[in-house]
């Protein structure tokens, strides 16, 4: 069973702080996007229709692992995406789903982010795959996205946005920020005539370095 030293109240504050940081970094707009954290009791998730940049305690709902609300409020319409990711990845304790400008531009063009243009994107992601389009909040959207989650912490959702998973909400925020930076650099290199990609050997050396660091 999942155990964590942080109290549920502390996790609610973490969600509020992360929503504000996402807004300040232009990683979310309006009432789009949703955040969640796994708890001992279930899942804390932002409520439907809330603005991540101005979250309050009332804008966070506790639900079980079937998506049933256990506290006041209506959980985000994307709640089952969060539920299925937590079920599939016991190591994941926080999820961010947002629609940042550059990542969403790739999603709208139905392009994965997989060009080896700098060492950081290999070390952090290797690649960011693209899930096929489906209606927002639908079961098909969940199925299309979670099939990538076994091997990836960041997945683009065609014509939609991005979902980012991590061991905690701080790491999820940093991955979101870094992925958006990768997308922006990729677009800039195309405007400048195209990046000079790392060689296959360069990429393999970086992957080996990553494996050594994780052992």
Give the active site residues: 78
Half-sphere exposure at residue 197, Cβ-oriented, CA atoms within 13 angstroms: 9
**DSSP string of 42-95, one letter each residue:** SEEEEBTT--GGG--GGGEEEE-TTS-B-SSS-B-TTHHHHHHHHHH-TT--EE
Tokens coding 83: 């539920």
Indicate the SS3 state at residue 96: strand
20, 53 Cβ separation under 8 angstroms: yes
According to DSSP, the β-strands at 94-98 and 34-38 are: antiparallel
Residue 68 in tokens: 């049933």
- Among candidates 26, 201, 205, which has minimal Cα distance to 102? 26
CA dist 78 and 173 (Å) reads 18
């Amino acid at each position: 069973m999942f155990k964590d030293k942080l109290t549920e109240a502390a996790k609610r504050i973490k969600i509020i702080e992360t929503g504000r940081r996402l807004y300040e970094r232009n990683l979310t707009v309006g009432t789009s996007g949703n955040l969640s954290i796994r708890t001992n009791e279930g899942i804390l998730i932002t409520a439907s229709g809330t603005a991540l940049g101005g979250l309050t305690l009332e804008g966070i709902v506790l639900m079980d692992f079937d998506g049933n609300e256990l506290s006041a409020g209506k959980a985000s319409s994307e709640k089952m995406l969060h539920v299925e990711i937590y079920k599939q990845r016991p190591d994941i304790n926080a999820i961010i789903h947002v629609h940042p400008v550059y990542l969403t531009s790739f999603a709208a063009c139905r392009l994965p982010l997989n060009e080896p243009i700098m060492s950081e994107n290999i070390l952090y992601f290797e690649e960011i795959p693209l899930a096929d389009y489906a209606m927002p909040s639908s079961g098909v959207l969940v199925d299309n996205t979670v099939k990538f989650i076994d091997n990836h912490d960041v997945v683009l959702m065609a014509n939609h946005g991005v979902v980012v998973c991590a061991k905690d909400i701080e790491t999820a925020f940093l991955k979101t920020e870094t992925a958006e930076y990768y997308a922006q650099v990729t677009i800039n290199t195309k405007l400048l005539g195209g990046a000079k990609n790392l060689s296959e050997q360069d990429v393999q050396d970086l992957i080996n370095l990553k494996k050594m660091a994780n052992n």
